[in-house]
Structure 1
Amino acid sequence: MRKAPKTQAEEASYTVGSLAKLAGVTVRALHHYEDEGLLHPERTASGYRCYGAADVERLQQILLLRSCGLSLGDIRGALDNGDFDFHGVLVNHLATLRARQKELETLVGTVEKTIASLEGRCTMTDEERFEGMKARAIAENEERYGAEVRQAYGDAAMDAANERMAGMSQEEWGDAKALEAAILEQLTAAKATGDPTGEAARKLCAMHARWLQMHWGEGAYSPAAHAALAEGYVADQRFTAYYDEAAGEGATAFLRDALIAWCAEQ
């Protein structure tokens, strides 16, 4: 009986150069992944690296997880964990990409209309200009935080927040941006008192809660969710950089402490 022909995956055998070309990465990147314990190619008798089907599949997983924002250390831990839900991570990432795609399509349309307006081929309304601003903000929000929010709170929470932002009127949008700036000023003032439970800190927390309610979907806000978000601010370097750069070193930790105390009283 003739054996079934081998599939491409079963026959896969790549040198470091050919795999780099196939995957669209550099040879140096493959060497780095090996140094980090992510890839384990075999060696030929001559000492050259040889990548098989399992290596190709693992490299794809590494690159996909990198696109989800995971560090190489987190990826190594995830792939070496037999209970890691790779499928779930990809499902969440796909939802993020689709939401981003939708907003980018809106933004592309706005840019096209703006170019046409500048060239005198059409007249752009204030509403059209404003929709483009919102689309850009939503797309940037998905890019920076979408994966984490969807993983922590689910797709519905992130989709509701995007819908809430997309549905804002120009006046609501302006109010939200003004409140965001006022929060940073209040954080600076509250932090100067050194008391995360004082009157200035309590005012800060109430302002922050109102700002979240403006962005989250209907009924999504709760003190417990607010407190959990506050803990995330300190754990996520992006949020720490945002608040510390605006209100001084330690501002993020102060905000976290103030919110934890305030939310416990609500």
Structure 2
Amino acid sequence: MNMRVKEVADLVGISVRTLHHYDEIELLTPKTTEAGYRLYTKEDLEKLQQILFFKELDFPLKKIKEIIESPSFDRQDALETQRKMLVEKRRRLEQMIRTLEKTIQYSKGEIEMTNKEKFEGFDFSHNPHEQEARKRWGDKAVDKSKEQIVGMTNDEQKAMGEKMNEIYRNLAAIRTSSPESHEAQAAIKVWYEFLNSNPSYHYTLEAFKGLGQMYVDDKRFTNSIDRFGEGLAKFMCMAMTAFADNNKK
């Protein structure tokens, strides 16, 4: 039985305006009666479910539309992939909740915490916005980067993540200094060298500069990086720009 827009909105828990917007951008276009009522079929509801799964994984609507409308799109394969991604997201959230609970106890003076324990769960070794990277730099660079990670053992991947977090913490500690200072440039050089430690792909100075700009242009990246210290994303962007400009031949 077909459902009207208000019925779908109530069923799913989203606004009628959201469904109208999906129709306007041709992401989810139900059939319309002569009287102008939108009617959603069983297939429309399944498509809406796919859209909301992708949204939960932080995919932008434009990218969702591109994926779903691709001739190679396979719903079953997408469901399996989405399940794996959500399970990984749950694992990270559970770790962060444990860290948060320990931090609450620590702030009350009930327990002690090492600096390392304070950042457990903040794992940036797996980029949550891979699709954005693909759009900006193409599949080749992302695939080569992933090939290296796939070839690593779990211990090697963990060590890489810990090294990355250590660099973020070191940069956060000096984020109030000038991004062009010797100290800041030395620290950002470590980040540049870390990114280029992958033998399968090399960040040019221009790509490094562009990456820094994305840290402030994309709020998702800004929020993730600023977890190590407010204003860190902006500081890194400025430091990376100065590094790229100063090292051009």
What TM-score range do you get, normalising by the shorter chain? 0.5 to 0.7
Distance across 2 between alignment mates of 1:228 and 1:85:
36
Alignment RMSD:
4.6
Per residue, is there more helix in 1 or in 2? 1
Distance across 2 between alignment mates of 1:66 and 1:85:
18
Report deviation, 1:253. Answer: 5.8
Contact 2:208 2:240 in 1 (8 A): no
Is 1:148 the equivalent of 2:137? no
TM-score of the two chains, using structure 1 as the length reference: 0.60
Report deviation, 1:254. Answer: 6.1
Report deviation, 1:16. Answer: 0.2
Structure 2 equivalent of residue 194 of structure 1: none
Summarize the alignment of residues 246-261 of structure 1 with structure 2, pairs less than 5 Å apart.
246=235
Contact 1:92 1:155 in 2 (8 A): no
The residue matched to 1:50 in structure 2 has which SS? strand
Report deviation, 1:142. Answer: 7.7
Is 1:49 the equivalent of 2:38? yes
The residue matched to 1:70 in structure 2 has which SS? coil
- The CA deviation string for residues 160-219 of structure 1, in whole angstroms up to 9 with x for no partner, is 786226767xxx9666622566699685359xxxxxxxxx98x67742244448xxxxxx
TM-score of the two chains, using structure 2 as the length reference: 0.63
Residue number among 81, 94, 117 corresponding to 1:131 in the alignment: 117
Report the count of equivalent residues: 222
Summarize the alignment of residues 5-154 of structure 1 with structure 2, pairs less than 5 Å apart.
12-84=1-73, 91-116=80-105, 123-127=110-114, 130-135=116-121, 137-138=122-123, 141=124, 145-148=127-130, 152=142, 153-154=145-146
- Go from structure 1 to structure 2 and tell me whether the alpha carbon gap of 1:74 and 1:156 turns closer, same or farther (over 3 Å shift): same
Which residue identity lines up with residue 163 of structure 1 in the other structure? K
Summarize the alignment of residues 159-238 of structure 1 with structure 2, pairs less than 5 Å apart.
163-164=158-159, 177-179=169-171, 188=180, 206-212=189-195, 221-222=197-198, 224-227=200-203, 231=207, 234=210, 238=214
Distance across 1 between alignment mates of 2:156 and 2:129:
14
The residue matched to 2:59 in structure 1 has which SS? coil
Structure 2 equivalent of residue 157 of structure 1: 149
| Higher-Rg member (1/2) | 1
Distance across 2 between alignment mates of 1:119 and 1:210:
40
Distance across 1 between alignment mates of 2:172 and 2:201:
19
- The CA deviation string for residues 227-264 of structure 1, in whole angstroms up to 9 with x for no partner, is 17973862796424468832777x666656778x79xx
Distance across 1 between alignment mates of 2:90 and 2:174:
32
Report deviation, 1:100. Answer: 3.2
In structure 1, stretches of 5+ residues that fail to align are 1-11, 191-199, 214-220
